[in-house]
Amino acid sequence: MYRDRNIRDPVAKQRAATFLGMTLTSPIAVAAGPAATDTHCPYCSLQCGMRLGGPTADAPVAVLERPDFPVNRGALCGKGRSAPALLARDVRLTGPLLRDRPGGPLRAAGWPEALDRVAAGLARTRAAYGPDAVGVFGGGGLTNEKAYLLGKFARVVLGTANIDYNGRFCMSSAAAAHRRAFGLDRGLPFPLADLPHTGCLILVGGNPAETMPPAVRYLRELRENGGTLIVVDPRRTRTAELADLHLQPRPGGDLALALGLLHLVIADGLVDEEFVAARTTGFDGARASAMAHWPDRVERITGVPAHQLREAARLFGTARTGIVLTARGPEQHSKGTDTVGAWIDLCLATGNAGRPYSGYGCLTGQGNGQGGREHGQKADQLPGYRSIEDPAARAHVAAVWGVDPLTIPGPGKSAYELLDGLGRPDGVRALLLAGSNPAVSAPDAGHVTERLRALDLLVVADLVLSETAALADVVLPVTQWAEEDGTTTNLEGRVILRRRALDPPEGVRSELWVLRELAARLGVPDGFPTEAEQAFDELRRASAGGDADYAGISYARIAAEDGVFWPCPAEDHPGTRRLFLDRFATPDGRARFAAVTHRPAAEEPDDAYPLYLTTGRVLSQYQSGAQTRRVAELNAAAPGPYVELHPRLAERLGIADGEPVAVTSRRGRAVAPARITDGIRPDTVFMPFHWAGAGRANSLTNPALDPVSRMPEFKLCAVRVEPAHQEASR
């Protein structure tokens, strides 16, 4: 559908901003005093700059405007504005908790007792079953310093191969496709500020109007500059409302859709032959795949009318430059890597890569989704985005760590495989988990919760008693954003600095301190700094020469330059805002076409489960909701789960708006109120995934894995939907 593009009026802009839950003016009208601290939001990958002052009557710090930070220019969404609420003592953990017997209650304990219990349990499991029976599960919200030392702790102290993190569930398919095509993966290979200057932007399966509202400014400016915005999403989201053209495929249709667009670009003579010849390899294979995806066939697969396909191909193929951005919609599938590969092929065929204002990028999700996967908490990687199987990489990192390269374990299990094996004879039996809540956020979460319960020892480091922490044998309360220094890397590859603005409550410690204490108890007294800048300086050395080279980035430079883009191999290097302008990072310098074909999802609807379920986020909650569900303002705006369904489907099933409906898949069941909207396809229902309990969307989702990225198929499974009362009476 086409949308009115007249949004130049400042009043209309402010209305739009209010609609999107963001602010374009000072978040809190408190003057910045001498103690004001420049830092960043604790939540999503935009990593909005904010200034902290205060205290206020309600919170120990106030969020102030920081208009000079270029990414968000002072704008924050409601999550960022309300983040100080998480610092209050009554919503968080303020001392360690221990469970003395399985099924018994958690009780308060001191740090020495808690750390002794953890160290003894890890050592006992390792001695009895070997090092790979001990596992580590990290998170994409951890700072670079924490992620780096968590990886070092797993490999050097525990000697286990089994470390992975929840970022595997986030953008691993995009990372795998990016690397396959370009030889290097960075979420965006260009700054966000490039978006308004492209001719045509296709946004596939992303909803920044709800997930990162300040980024909507870039889409608005694109259209004000005369560019075209195409949004691909099975739902008419708030972002799709802003688009010139909204393509609404059925879930799982994105791969065929991309191939259909490539088919039309080729058929219409819109291939950039010169670029293809000079800077790519493998076009013949991609052309052969695309030619098998003619418009009528793609319409049958995706449900997108052929005339809309033709219009999208024309808009993208004739634009002066084009950008494709993907988010979780096309990525969280058992064919996610190939799907992203198909969209990259469309970019390559049209000459939209390695040139200003063009290319492919991924909107990463978590606050440090980018940096968290670069420095060693992923099962197959060492710091600097190095392969753990590369002898030269192992030797370099071993030298920084002061260990024999042969002692560094090989690749371990991916996130879901690690969780699925918990408590099994050949799996992990003692798990240290930090910054993640898989009891809510993992696919087939009911099964994962059972596996967590089967562990001999579960240790959770978190700031709140999340659903996963509530299952633990030991809970360690740790510091959060405003209470610690540390770096994160935003979706642009910009390394930024969070600054400590206040002391944590007594009884709360940083993860760096926890790792140092545990390492010492396990016989490694050195090599685990507790000062973040010291850890970062070691990370710089470990990353030097790697793909994600941070060697030239220092805390002082980050503060002075509003962040530094990696790779930055030397202190006199300016950082790399745009990748691939001269050559791609492949051995021959050419980008590689993926040449993929459409295939169905691991589970398609059938007679027993006739509908698609897709899941996603809402404006006022974040990820598993462990933090945002504890913020009254956010909870009031988004108090619980719901099931979105089309009026025709609701009528056919006899479901009224607001009525409790039961959604059942082959793995589980969830109940939540119906929300009837014509913004969704009649063959699809949608649930947000931020809640535990009866409305837990991930009770339903399918853990079928992508063969390359090991990404589970979060975004599509087959379900049955019925009124909850009807299901109960059967």
For binding to ligand SF4 (CB under 6 A), which residues are involved? 41, 43-44, 46-48, 72, 76-77, 79-80, 212-214
Are 374 and 385 within 8 A, CB to CB? yes
Helix/strand/coil for 636: helix
37 backbone φψ class: left, alpha, beta (φ>0; ψ -120 to 50): beta
Peptide bond into 42 cis (omega under 30): no
User: Distance of alpha carbon 627 from its chain centroid, rounded?
Assistant: 16
Q: Smallest distance from the beta carbon of 48 to ligand SF4, in angstroms? A: 3
> For residue 153, what are the CA distances in angstroms to 273, 492, 697, 725?
50, 28, 33, 51
Q: Smallest distance from the beta carbon of 615 to ligand SF4, in angstroms? A: 19
Compare residues 552 and 563 and give the one whose CB is closer to ligand SF4: 563
Q: Smallest distance from the beta carbon of 512 to ligand SF4, in angstroms? A: 23
Compare residues 188 and 721 and give the one whose CB is closer to ligand SF4: 188
Pairing of strands 486-489, 494-498: antiparallel
Q: Smallest distance from the beta carbon of 621 to ligand SF4, in angstroms? A: 11
Compare residues 64 and 379 and give the one whose CB is closer to ligand SF4: 64
Are 622 and 79 within 8 A, CB to CB? yes
Compare residues 79 and 152 and give the one whose CB is closer to ligand SF4: 79
Q: Smallest distance from the beta carbon of 622 to ligand SF4, in angstroms? A: 7
Q: Smallest distance from the beta carbon of 30 to ligand SF4, in angstroms? A: 17
Residue with tokens 């063969």: 707
Q: Smallest distance from the beta carbon of 31 to ligand SF4, in angstroms? A: 21
648 CB-near residues (< 8 Å, 6+ apart) = 682
Q: Smallest distance from the beta carbon of 232 to ligand SF4, in angstroms? A: 22
Neighbours of 18 (CB within 10 A): 11
Compare residues 203 and 724 and give the one whose CB is closer to ligand SF4: 203
Compare residues 38 and 517 and give the one whose CB is closer to ligand SF4: 38
Residue with tokens 């694109």: 222
Compare residues 76 and 705 and give the one whose CB is closer to ligand SF4: 76
Are 428 and 452 within 8 A, CB to CB? no
Of all residues in the shown chain, the one whose CB is closest to ligand SF4 is 80
Compare residues 414 and 490 and give the one whose CB is closer to ligand SF4: 490
Q: What gap in Å lies between CA 578 and CA 522, rounded to an integer?
A: 44
Compare residues 406 and 636 and give the one whose CB is closer to ligand SF4: 636
Rounded-to-10 torsion of CA 291, 296, 302, 306: 100
Q: Smallest distance from the beta carbon of 27 to ligand SF4, in angstroms? A: 9
Among candidate residues 189, 222, 198, the one with its CA nearest the CA of residue 208 = 222
Q: What gap in Å lies between CA 624 and CA 644, rounded to an integer?
A: 19
Single-letter amino acid code for the residue at 527: G
Compare residues 77 and 344 and give the one whose CB is closer to ligand SF4: 77
Compare residues 551 and 634 and give the one whose CB is closer to ligand SF4: 634
Q: Smallest distance from the beta carbon of 200 to ligand SF4, in angstroms? A: 24
Neighbours of 271 (CB within 10 A): 19
Peptide bond into 55 cis (omega under 30): yes
3-state secondary structure 383-438: CCCEECCCHHHHHHHHHHHCCCHHHCCCCCCCHHHHHHCCCCCCCCCEEEEECCCH
